[in-house]
Structure 1
Amino acid sequence: MQSSTPVIIVGAGTAGMSAAVELAQAGIYSIVLDEAPKIGGAVFRGPYREAIELPHLDSKLRKKISNIRQQYHDHQTFIELRLNTRVLGPAGQHSLLIRHKEDVSELSYEQLIIATGCHERSVPFDGWQMPGVMLLGGVQLQLKSGLVRPGQRMAVVGTGPLLPLVACQLHKAGVNVLGVYEAGKLSDFAKEGRALLNRPVLALEGMGMLSYLTANSIPMHYGQGIVSVSGDENINKAHFAKYTDDWYPIDGTGTSLELDCLAVGYGFVSRNQLSQLFQLEHDICPTSGLKPQVNVWQQSSQDNIYIAGDSVGILGGEGAMVEGRLAALSIAQNRKILTPEIVNKHAGTYFTLLHKVKRFRAGFDRIGRRREGLLSLLKPNTIVCRCENVPRSAIDDVIGQGVKDITSLKMRTRVGMGDCQGKTCNSYCQDRLGYELKSTDIGHIKPRFPLDPIPFSALFDGVQ
């Protein structure tokens, strides 16, 4: 199928831009849509103002930020960027409804690559809604976008490789980092040594971060985690404890720190709202949440729609790059621009790297697997759904009354009905209901169309 129609790519992060570059190298035009004002996604977007330097970020990250911009610059003849543009959802067959500022329009496509990334998983606990409690992504965004210190005295808590990274970045930015609390035990990391050696350079970088923390007297506490935070109008104290194997706080092991900000990170959830609106086939992943089904070429259950990057499973930057390029190669072959022989030759290296990345990531996934003890951190009056102000006690009541699926839970309590469409509260609700029913077959919170509000001015003028 020879075609000159541009491939539409949703997302200008690592996966989206890698796909656009691979397409450009095959002589295929693309249109890349992103809601942000700069390319790179949340990880590699960098500061919004070019004059800002980022001495607190390591040289490798700064180089990656520069590389993704240089790749676009080298291939921009074939890549049309449409930044500050939101995708509202499908608009009929082979068309997207998009919004740029106050203008709403339709954009047709023959092939579509969805590379919308992920969002952070929220784990509620007593006091988590207080000012000063931040997710790791929000902390990184402040540090990367303009050297904004989230606080003066901070601790980092949760699980996963981002914890020591963010702690190092905070310290280099001038923050007094009081400690890092990793829920996984040190023995868990030792058991996953073989998996982590699939990416030896990344493993060594991690060891370097731990050495930096030790050299700067920042304690790393394994097998410990958050219990609660307290304060008046803002957080001023965080309470920690050792965890059991199921991550229940152990009585009598509590410690407290006086601080003004707490960075919390319990992993990420694939951002799948757009793929759901397309009614693609999805699977339930215990780590990434609901994720689209794809073949080895990132092709979804609709053969002209591809999914790449963290929106189809959390693998990080390397995995996103490979998946974006594989999707592009498949499109180039389907358009008869590249022969199967050339595509397979290029793809061989990508498949090998992707296999290693998946095995590496699986090690961290096993260490950071969410345990039932996290569900015990809420008091009855702890707010679960911030948009609709739903406390844990309301969820307790309807579960006690026999609710058997997430849709019924939503209808009875209004969780997931707010502006964020369940991005914040869905993980807790899924985990809680699944734990109580001892089943994963409980459904999921479905997104609404449009994914973002349409301004009244667009409704008045009509869709262009």
Structure 2
Amino acid sequence: MTASKHGVVIVGGGTAGISAAAELAQLGIKSVVIDEAPRIGGPVFRGPFREAISLPHLDENLCQKIADIRELYQKNQQYIELRLNTRVLGPSGESALLARHQDEIFEIPYDQLIVATGCHERSVPFDGWQIPGVMLLGGVQLQLKSGLVKPGQRMAVVGTGPLLPLVATQLHKAGVVVTGIFEAGKLGDFAKESRAFLNRPMLALEGVGLLTYLKTNGIPMHYGMGIVSASGEDCLTGITVAQYDRDWYPVKGTEKTLDVDCLAVGYGFVSRNQLTQLLNVAHDNCQISGLKPRVDDWQHSSRPDVYIAGDSVGILGGEAAMMEGRLAAISVAKQQDIISLEQARDKAKPYKNLLDKVKAFRAGFDRIGRRREGLLSLLTADTIVCRCENVTRAQIDEVIEQGVKDITSLKMRTRAGMGDCQGKTCNSYCQDRLRFELKQLDVGEIKPRFPLDPVPFSSLYKEVL
């Protein structure tokens, strides 16, 4: 299996990837879209896997967006070659990708590559975070979206950001008892960002609607509070929350214990940059999105044949991802001399205007939810930070005291980040810890390994034959 010798390849079938493919199609350009999932839409808009069942917790707005992205593909599918259940293993030479579908490994060459791999959740370790029943916020939402799967019967939602009230509302509509939402940002901080939120008034109104729903249904929203610890052995039985000070250290004497069987934790997302690192494009450090690829106003990376769009290049959400995907497609068309620079600017103008507004809107939440040093205090000495290699906080403390100055040295000394997940779980804590200790932003990165995903022996056996 190979793509056309000269063409556009898009990695990621979410909002950014499908929007890019549709914009290319409207310009008469064919593309190949690769996605590891069995259907398009990405984690946010993939929708339920079983269409026959009723999902009352998915609001009309979300259902409409799920339908819209499928319609966008269907209207343009004659120009789009869609390869689902296909994992990109990494680059193969200068202008091709190595991919796997089931047991088959093959190359996909390209003239232009659009990377739209999205993001993954940021893990914030705390005492008891490894107990079954403690889940990341996005994972909870995926269970609800993929089919009416209730993660628990009695839950709390902790962290920061606009997803907290949304997921709490979806949980309640799914029949879960939500004991409370604990937003680390203070109420006054939200009031200060009101001008930023007015950049997208409809989104702001949707948020107000969620808060009204929660209040009407007796679900308390606590500001300036967050997780301290979780308790239980074989399963989660309770959590402790407390007031946070300005640096998000728990305030002694304000602790509150809740009986829950499941906990949703959401302290933001990190750009999924493993492929872009292997492609050797330039990256910048960002306190919110982590290491992210450097792009210009046209989503063009430091490589002439590589474009990057969506949450891969900064956490802005689905609306911005759609605009960035379309901008990347217009830039590709300009590079192929299908449209002129003037035509490209005219087509891009409304997309860039909306993108600027979304960035200003999102910046308000970023300022509120910027991680503070107090989160680093939630671990005990024996709390496991790297689950793959069972590395504890005490082991990290020891090597920092011995003078470790960068993430690579910390990895070599402790094995944190050497496991199957390649640091996706532990990297954020390790970086934040080093930044706090060294008082500098750039502490290096855990470098991804090739291949990005494990290759089964059955695939290698076929290659040998």
Task: Using structure 2 for the length normalisation, give the TM-score.
Answer: 0.98
Match of 2:7 in 1: 6
Aligned-pair CA distance for 1:397: 0.5
Q: Is the 8 A contact 1:271 1:310 kept in 2?
A: yes
- Secondary structure (helix, strand or coil) at the match of 1:462 reads helix
- Residue deviations 1:259-304 (CA, integer Å, cap 9, x gap): 1000000000000000000111100000000000101000000011
Any residues of structure 2 matched to 1:75-114 within 5 Å, and which?
75-114=76-115
Cross-structure match for 2:71: 70
| Other-structure match for 1:431 | 432
Q: CA deviation at 1:458?
A: 2.2
Say yes or no: does 1:458 pair with 2:452.
no
Q: Structure 1 residues 463, 107: closer, same or farther in 2, change over 3 A?
A: farther
2:236 equivalent to 1:235: yes
Structure-1 separation of matches of 2:291 and 2:335: 28
Tell me which moved more, 46-55 or 24-33: 46-55
Instruction: Tell whether 2:403 aligns with 1:402.
Output: yes
Deviation, structure 1 residue 389: 0.6
Q: Tell me if structure 1 keeps the 8 A contact 2:85–2:101.
A: yes
Residue 34 (structure 2) pairs with residue 33 (structure 1): yes
Q: How does 1:24-63 map to 2 (within 5 A)?
A: 24-63=25-64
Counterparts in 2 of 1:106-185, with a 5 A limit?
A: 106-185=107-186
Contact 1:4 1:29 in 2 (8 A): no
Query: What are the Cα deviations for residues 193-223 of structure 1, in whole angstroms up to 9, with x where unaligned?
Result: 1001100000000000000000000000000
Once the two structures are superposed, the pairs formed by residues 1-400 of structure 1 within 5 Å of their partners are 5-400=6-401
Structure-1 separation of matches of 2:416 and 2:197: 38
With the length of structure 1 as denominator, give the TM-score of the two structures.
0.98
Q: How many residues end up aligned between the 2 structures?
A: 462
Paired with 2:92 and 2:48, the residues of 1 have a C-alpha distance of: 34
Equivalent-residue separation in structure 2 for 1:167 and 1:322 (angstroms): 28
2 CA distance for matches of 1:440 and 1:414?
A: 22
Deviations 1:143-200 (A, max 9, x none): 0001100000000000000000000000000000000000000000011010011000
Q: Secondary structure at the match of 1:227?
A: strand
Contact 1:241/1:255 (CA < 8 Å) preserved in 2? yes
Q: Deviations over 1:120-155 (max 9, x none)?
A: 000000000000000011101100001100000000
Task: Write out per-residue CA displacement over residues 46-87 of structure 1, whole angstroms, 9 at most, x where no aligned residue.
Answer: 011222332111100000000100111111000011000000
* Mapped contact 2:5–2:109 kept (Cα < 8 A): no
Q: Measure, in 2, the Cα distance between the counterparts of 1:120 and 1:463.
A: 37
Q: Which amino acid aligns with 1:223?
A: G
The aligned amino acid for 2:46 is R
Partner SS for 1:154: strand
3-state SS in 1 of match to 2:78: coil
3-state SS, counterpart of residue 76 of structure 1: helix
Q: In the alignment, is the contact (CA less than 8 A) between 1:292 and 1:307 conserved in 2? A: yes
User: Quick one: distance in 1 between partners of 2:219 and 2:386?
Assistant: 34
Deviation at 1:4, TM superposition (A): 8.6
Paired with 2:343 and 2:425, the residues of 1 have a C-alpha distance of 44
**Does 1:413 find its partner at 2:394?**
no
User: CA RMSD for the aligned pairs?
Assistant: 1.1
Is contact 1:4-1:28 (8 Å) kept? no
Shift of 1:232: 2.4
Aligned-partner Cα distance in 1 for 2:121–2:151 = 17
Evaluate the alpha carbon distance shift between residue 4 and residue 380 of structure 1 in structure 2; reply closer, same or farther with a 3 A threshold: closer
TM-aligned CA deviation for residue 463 of structure 1:
8.0
**1:292-344 Cα deviation digits (max 9, x unpaired):** 01010000000110000000000000110000000000111111212222221
Q: In structure 2, what residue type is equivalent to 1:189?
A: F
User: Which secondary structure does the structure 2 equivalent of 1:306 belong to?
Assistant: strand
Distance 2:333 2:439 in 1: 45
Once residues 77 and 112 of structure 1 are traced to their aligned partners in structure 2, the CA distance between those partners, rounded to angstroms, is 19
Task: Give me the identity figure in percent.
Answer: 70
CA contact (8 A) 1:196 1:363 kept: yes
Q: Distance in 2 between matches of 1:15 and 1:321?
A: 5
Q: Secondary structure at the match of 1:77?
A: helix
Bigger CA drift: 43-52 or 152-161? 43-52
- In the alignment, the residues of structure 2 paired with residue 280 and residue 361 of structure 1 have an alpha-carbon distance, to the nearest angstrom, of 25
